[in-house]
Amino acid sequence: MNDTSDSLQQEYGPSNRWWLLSLVAMAYFVLIQHRLVIGYVQVPLTSELGLSDSESGMLDTAFLIPYGISQLFVAYLSDRLQRRRVLAVSLLASSVCLFAMGFVGGFWQLVGLRVLLGFSQSASVPAIAGVMADCFTPKNRSTAVGVYNLSLNLAVVVVGTLGGGLADLPNLVLPFEVLGVGELSGWRLALLVFGVTGGLASLVVAVVMSEPERTERKSSHGLGQQGAGLWATLLSVLKLRTFVLLAIVFGGFCVVDNAQNYWLARHYVEDLGMTNADAGFFATIYYRPAAFLGLLVGGFVADRWARRWVRGRMLVQILGIALWIPALVVLGIAESRNVLAPTMVVIGLGYGFYVANLWTTSFDVIDPAARSTAIGLFNVIAFPAAFTSPFIGYLRDTHGVELGQAISGLSIVACLIVLALSLTAIVFLPRDYHGPLAGKKPVA
């Protein structure tokens, strides 16, 4: 390798960084489909299995609680073991769980498999975050994270449209019973299709993905070149007030995002009279392309602002969530598609601005040897957000709260997020920051 390529690698990351990015993005594309598909087939699913709204909401929680809490332990694996192996195993286990859901006969079987799905996926995102941090430098990390998260938004569009379309299909009579199922409903077929796709993705990761070199670790600083034990690694992250507040804010973000992902399409089915396929399509076709744009613009702007200001990345996050406040109110009360479409565009832009900078803001304050652990702790601290969907279901069952009212009420959470991010940016971030501008003036 010549001097020019050595310099470019040091400045922007290894030469195969975009190839590795494409592989982890593909893995995330599949994982998101696995966790969300149930929300886009819930109308026929709840009808066939006889579930109440509270039970339907509990299916979301059954995934999120084990997914979040188990990351307290499994996220650490990617700070010490090969990330590609962790990711391949997680993908395969997720695929098996989803495939098995296609043959459930009742609520508790489905809950049990959703719990196993949460455990199966819990090690995946921390592994991906570790790969991303080692493949890109502070000069291009937000841009890379923005590009990577395009896979999430594309996954939502695909799972909403394809999952809803499969759910609308008439029952398929099987020539023989499979695990006690004689007829294959459309929603069951959707789970089987996405499960098989995940199995193929796990094979691709295991066979063709290489393990990137660990970067920015220093033997004489922090956790050292090889990292430290689990509890020392956890303490190095949790002692940072900036990180703890970022994680609490992420919990608020998950409250809003989980509720939208799980209930918005159903709101369109029940209150606007759409079919499952139409609702899945309409709930994603404006929101997610706008999120594409928000991720790219938010990442690009933040990488440049971060070269001038310590608070650069967080300012983009604050702007993004501020856009949510009026948009969520309109989303819940509007009935016209002509009003709902641009509203979902605004929400998508705000989503992209925030998500493109979540990981990279934390990377500016945590030890490089604790990156995967830190990303896992985001989900551990934010796990109370897992109760959002069943809480909304409970309000519907017992108090007759409309889904539109619940969605508009999420704007209050968005207000609290903006206040918490502003406090963090003003008070705590300058104290904990150790990124490229550390020691330089001005830091604000």
The CATH number linked to 372 is: 1.20.1250.20
Has residue 271 got a pLDDT over 80? Answer: yes
Q: What CA–CA distance (Å, rounded) separates 192 from 43?
A: 17
Other Cβ atoms within 10 Å of 279 Cβ, number:
23
- For residue 250, is it within any domain? yes
Task: Give the CA diameter of the chain.
Answer: 73
Identify the sign of the CA torsion 237, 243, 244, 249. Answer: negative
pLDDT tens per residue across span 83-134: 899 999 999 999 999 999 988 888 999 999 999 999 999 989 889 988 888 8
Q: Pick from 209, 190, 242: which is nearest to 362 by CA?
A: 242
Has residue 410 got a pLDDT over 50? Answer: yes
Number of folded domains in the chain? 1
Q: What CA–CA distance (Å, rounded) separates 358 from 360?
A: 6
In this structure, of 144-158, 171-185, 228-242, the range with the lowest mean pLDDT score is 171-185
Which of 10-19, 204-213, 282-291 has maximum average pLDDT?
204-213
pLDDT tens per residue across span 187-221: 888 999 999 999 999 999 999 999 888 776 665 56
- For residue 378, is it within any domain? yes
Has residue 298 got a pLDDT over 70? Answer: yes
In the prediction, which pLDDT does 8 show? 44
- For residue 304, is it within any domain? yes
Q: Pick from 96, 97, 104, 94: which is nearest to 51 by CA?
A: 104
Q: What CA–CA distance (Å, rounded) separates 176 from 167?
A: 21
Residue 178's DSSP bridge partners are 181
Q: Are strands 181-184 and 172-178 parallel, antiparallel or unpaired?
A: antiparallel
In the prediction, which pLDDT does 158 show? 87
- For residue 397, is it within any domain? yes
Contact 264, 156 (CB under 8 A): no
Has residue 356 got a pLDDT over 80? Answer: yes
- For residue 55, is it within any domain? yes
Average pLDDT over the chain reads 86
In the prediction, which pLDDT does 1 show? 47
Q: 402: alpha, beta or left, given left = phi > 0 and alpha = psi -120 to 50?
A: beta
First to last CA, the chain: 38
| Rg of the chain (C-alpha set) | 21
- For residue 2, is it within any domain? no
pLDDT tens per residue across span 30-67: 999 999 999 888 888 888 889 887 888 788 889 988 98
| Cis ω before 442 (30° cut-off from 0) | yes
What band does 346 get if pLDDT is binned at 50, 70 and 90? very high
In the prediction, which pLDDT does 423 show? 95
Identify the sign of the CA torsion 85, 86, 91, 97. Answer: positive
- For residue 234, is it within any domain? yes
Mean pLDDT of 395-414: 87
Amino acid identity of residue 432, one-letter, is D
The model's pTM: 0.76
> Taking the mean position of all CA atoms in its chain, how far away is CA 353?
14
In the prediction, which pLDDT does 98 show? 95
Q: What CA–CA distance (Å, rounded) separates 342 from 338?
A: 7
Residue that is written with structure tokens 């990156």 in the block: 371
Q: Domain span at residue 238?
A: 12-211+229-432
Q: What CA–CA distance (Å, rounded) separates 114 from 328?
A: 29
Q: Tell me if residue 174 falls in helix, strand or coil.
A: strand
Q: 180: alpha, beta or left, given left = phi > 0 and alpha = psi -120 to 50?
A: left
Contact 27, 85 (CB under 8 A): no
- Give the angle subtended at the CA of 335 by the CAs of 339 and 35, to the nearest 5°: 90
- For residue 19, is it within any domain? yes
pLDDT tens per residue across span 220-267: 565 655 656 778 888 889 999 999 999 999 999 999 988 887 788 888
Q: Residue 324: which residues within 8 A CB-CB, separation 6 or more? A: 256, 346, 347, 350, 351, 411, 414
Mean pLDDT of 308-326: 95
Identify the sign of the CA torsion 271, 273, 279, 284. Answer: negative
In the prediction, which pLDDT does 278 show? 84
